[in-house]
Amino acid sequence: MPFSPADRDILLAVKGVDATVIRQIESVGIAHLVTLAAQESGHLSIEIARRNGLCSRCAGIRPDAAVRDAIAAARAALTAR
């Protein structure tokens, strides 16, 4: 199940978070801001890398920053609600 259009818009507004990053987050079963907000970026980046056949060491560069920023946006959006 993908993020809702409203949640997707929140994430896409974050610099560095694009449709690929969102698909990668969804690939590990996360499709709600509440679930995303509860994650720790390092662990989530490693899980995304593992599930998508990416180098887990490489996940510490751009994907980790994008995942970290997506998590921060999810937390901010939930706080604003």
Of the candidates 32, 35, 27, the residue with the CA atom closest to the CA atom of residue 51: 27
Buried b (16+ CB within 10 A) or exposed e, 5-24: eebbebbeebeebeeebbeb
**Tens-place pLDDT, residues 4-38:** 999 999 999 999 999 999 999 999 999 999 999 99
pLDDT at residue 63 in the model: 58
In whole angstroms, give the CA distance from residue 58 to residue 32: 26
pLDDT at residue 25 in the model: 95
**Tens-place pLDDT, residues 39-78:** 999 899 888 888 877 765 655 555 588 999 999 999 999 9
